[in-house]
Structure 1
Amino acid sequence: MSTTFVVSPLEQLGSLLGFGLTAVGGLKLERAVRETSLRHDGGLLMALRRAKQSYVPGFLFAGAADHGSLDEELHAVATAPSRVVARQMGRFLESVRAVRGPETAELRKITTALEAGERAFAQRIARELGRFWSASVSARWNSVRQAAEGDIRHRAAAIAEHGLAATLNSLHPALTYDSGTLRIQDPRTLQVRETSRITLCPAPLATTWLLRTDPWGEDGTHLTYPVSSGRSGIRPAVDPAASDSLGQVIGQARFLLLSDLDRPRITIG
């Protein structure tokens, strides 16, 4: 498996909005998120958030990149190819209807917005993400980014000292890794497809893990974890010389590429 750590404004927004599978009862910001949305015209974004099941359209995060700017990431959302938006939104609507039935208020809002065209739909989502960012994250971004970068530096040093498996085990108490399998302990019994690529996002604003997967293989697997949940003994202090040496081998800590984990599976259950 190749594993990449990223610090991305869009990934932080995704964790705050709960775009993905998360722990039962894990979202603690529901009221605050809803009120922020109502004050800042985020109706379509909130309809997507309330309707989503296990699948989240990948175009929402296609621009997320390590140390990308918010403007660059939102531009990638707004200019997502219409064929990609149409294909992914079709999958999203199908997954919602399979669970919640053909008619809900959220589905009506989403389908009405899609009638204006995929480009207009993507642009509206980008605008609403930008407004939500300004209202809820912008003032805290510098401290959020610094905390995420610091966590990645700790993880890089932990990998060098303890190995990748021990470091993955340290991301959250619900996460365990052994023999090529990353397991998330949760009251539900869910299976997520085998994957060879995972993106890890340390999220200082998150209260628990969040997993975003794509059964069609367009978006890979993204795992967000709260920065404060590392297990003791796995986060050593970073020696500057060792950090520089490690960086020469695996690249900058804030965009860390790790390889060769022999096709793990990710399961929840």
Structure 2
Amino acid sequence: MFTLRVDAETVSRTRLSPSPASESVAWLKLTTAAGHHPVFGDPGPLARASLAHPDVALLAHLLPRGGAGYTPDLLTPQPGAGTAYHDLLDEQIARIEATAQEDLELQVLTGTQAHWSRPLPAAVRQVAESGRMQRRLASGLARFWRDALSDGWPELRSIIDQDITHRARTVVGHGVGRVLGSLHPGIGWTGDAITFDSAWDGELDVTGRDLVLAPSVLSWPGAVIQVDVPGQVVLYYPAHRVGTGRDRKPATIARVVGAARAALLADLETARSTTELSTRIGYTPGTVSYHLSALHRAGLVSKVRDGRFVLYQRTSQAGVLTED
């Protein structure tokens, strides 16, 4: 069991926040492992196609495999206090890029060596030691988000917001301690400490620090504690009511298409140009072009040139995504 020793200041500075970076990393873990989420299913072809980008592939090399549990905490920075919801991801990406070289090497080189049964590839070690890894990891997370999650984020956010509202009501009615003791069966509250069921024993004094409670959807039903970044303490816990059948239809996120891309696929039974699609769907040509590029990389649409126009049409692989 792992124990976090807290004081009144820590409790008073405890807050709830989404973490877009941790949701992205959880979805990328499933993608690289060819896994399926117990509620939301297969990450889908758009997520897999994103792995072809070298910065996304580099990020994937830092994720655990084969039962290893350690993930460098620098990949999921603590959400900042007072940051507007729509700025959270940009702030977390900026924090990844600003990671001190010493901290990066401690987590990426020393941490993985201590916790993983497999060595890091030599090319990945070389990037880590070069000082260029921070920028590339930030780029990789931003790219995977755009390719695989940005369109579906409003639905995920809705689930997370419902959990935060539920926890806030508990604080009002029963206090912070009740929330800390009800996050997950493996997380306990003793009055001066948070206990966390873990394969490794230990104790850490986090008195005076901010404590962030981050409801998670895509790492559901697990719970994770994050303490390796100096000054940061984050508890990721499964969002309330995920998997109860009340949250949403599983197919939407499982397909990782989202409203804009679903609308485009539905309208591409017939080959159409970007301009025609823009008029029919109601998005700007630039937005349509962006989504078509992502769908094309994933093999969900084909494109052919017809005179001055490039015509797009959904592929047979995309047929399952347009079924009711």
Q: How would you bin the TM-score normalised by the shorter chain?
A: 0.5 to 0.7
What is the aligned partner in structure 2 of residue 207 from structure 1?
A: 220
Among candidates 166, 169, 181, match of residue 157 of structure 1: 169
Paired letter, 2:124: I
* Structure-2 separation of matches of 1:133 and 1:168: 30
Secondary structure class of the residue paired with 2:104: helix
Match of 1:135 in 2: 147
Query: Equivalent residues in 2 for 1:48-127 (5 A)?
Result: 48-50=62-64, 54=70, 56-58=72-74, 60-62=75-77, 64-65=79-80, 66=83, 67=85, 68-78=87-97, 80=98, 84-100=100-116, 104=119, 106-115=120-129, 117-118=130-131, 120-127=132-139
Task: Specify the code of the residue in structure 2 equivalent to 1:12.
Answer: E
| Structure 1 gap ranges (5+) | 19-25, 231-269
* RMSD between aligned residues: 3.4
Runs of 4+ in 1 over 6 A off after TM superposition: 26-31
Match of 2:193 in 1: 181
Whether contact under 8 Å (2:26, 2:219) holds in the other structure is yes
| Deviation at residue 48 of structure 1 after TM alignment | 0.8
> Does structure 2 conserve the Cα–Cα contact (< 8 Å) formed by 1:11 and 1:64?
no
* Alignment partners' CA distance in 2, 1:127 and 1:108: 21
> Residue 185 of structure 2: SS of its match in structure 1?
coil
Change (3 A) 1:111 1:218: same
Q: Which amino acid aligns with 1:46?
A: A
SS state at 1:137 partner: helix
> Aligned equivalents of 1:35 and 1:210: distance in 2?
25
Q: Deviations over 1:149-188 (max 9, x none)?
A: 22112111111112222212221222221222222235x2
Q: How far is 1:86 from its partner?
A: 3.1
Aligned to 2:205: 194
2:18 alignment partner AA: V
Letter in 2 for 1:206: S
Query: What residue is the counterpart of 1:246 in the other structure?
Result: none
TM (norm. structure 2) is 0.56
Provide the C-alpha distance between the structure 2 equivalents of 1:192 and 1:13, rounded to a whole number of angstroms.
Answer: 29
- SS state at 1:228 partner: coil
Preserved CA contact (<8 Å) 1:211 1:223: yes
Q: Using the alignment, how far apart are the partners of 1:179 and 1:173 within structure 2?
A: 17
Offset of 1:128 from its aligned partner? Answer: 0.8
Instruction: Summarize deviations over 1:120-160 as a string: whole Å, max 9, x none.
Output: 21111111101211232111111212221221121111111
Q: What one-letter code is carried by the residue in structure 2 that aligns with 1:74?
A: I
- Inter-CA distance 56–123: structure 2 relative to 1 (3 Å threshold): same
Identify if the C-alpha distance between structure 1 residues 156 and 146 changes in structure 2 by more than 3 Å, giving closer, same or farther: same
Q: What's 1:262 paired with?
A: none
SS in 1 for 2:204: strand
The Cα shift of 1:91 comes to 4.2
Residue 247 (structure 1) aligns with: none
- The structural deviation recorded for 1:55 is 6.2
Structure 1, 63-72 or 188-197: larger mean CA deviation: 63-72
Specify every segment of 5 or more residues in structure 2 that has no aligned partner in the other structure, as ranges. 1-9, 30-35, 243-324
Secondary structure, aligned partner of 1:13: helix
Give the corresponding residue for 2:19. Answer: 8
**Relative contact order higher in (CA < 8 Å, ≥ 6 apart):** 1
Please report the TM-score for the alignment, with normalisation by the length of structure 1.
0.66
Question: For 1:173 and 1:162, how far apart are their aligned partners in 2?
Answer: 19
When residues 123 and 45 of structure 1 are mapped into structure 2, their CA distance, relative to the original with a 3 A threshold, is same
Alpha-carbon distance between aligned partners in 2 of 1:47 and 1:30, rounded to the nearest angstrom: 22
Number of aligned positions between the proteins? 215
1:53–1:96 Cα contact (<8 Å) kept: no
Amino acid at match of 2:205: E
Assess if the C-alpha contact under 8 Å between 1:15 and 1:224 holds in 2.
Answer: no
Which residue of structure 1 lines up, in the alignment, with residue 251 of structure 2?
A: none
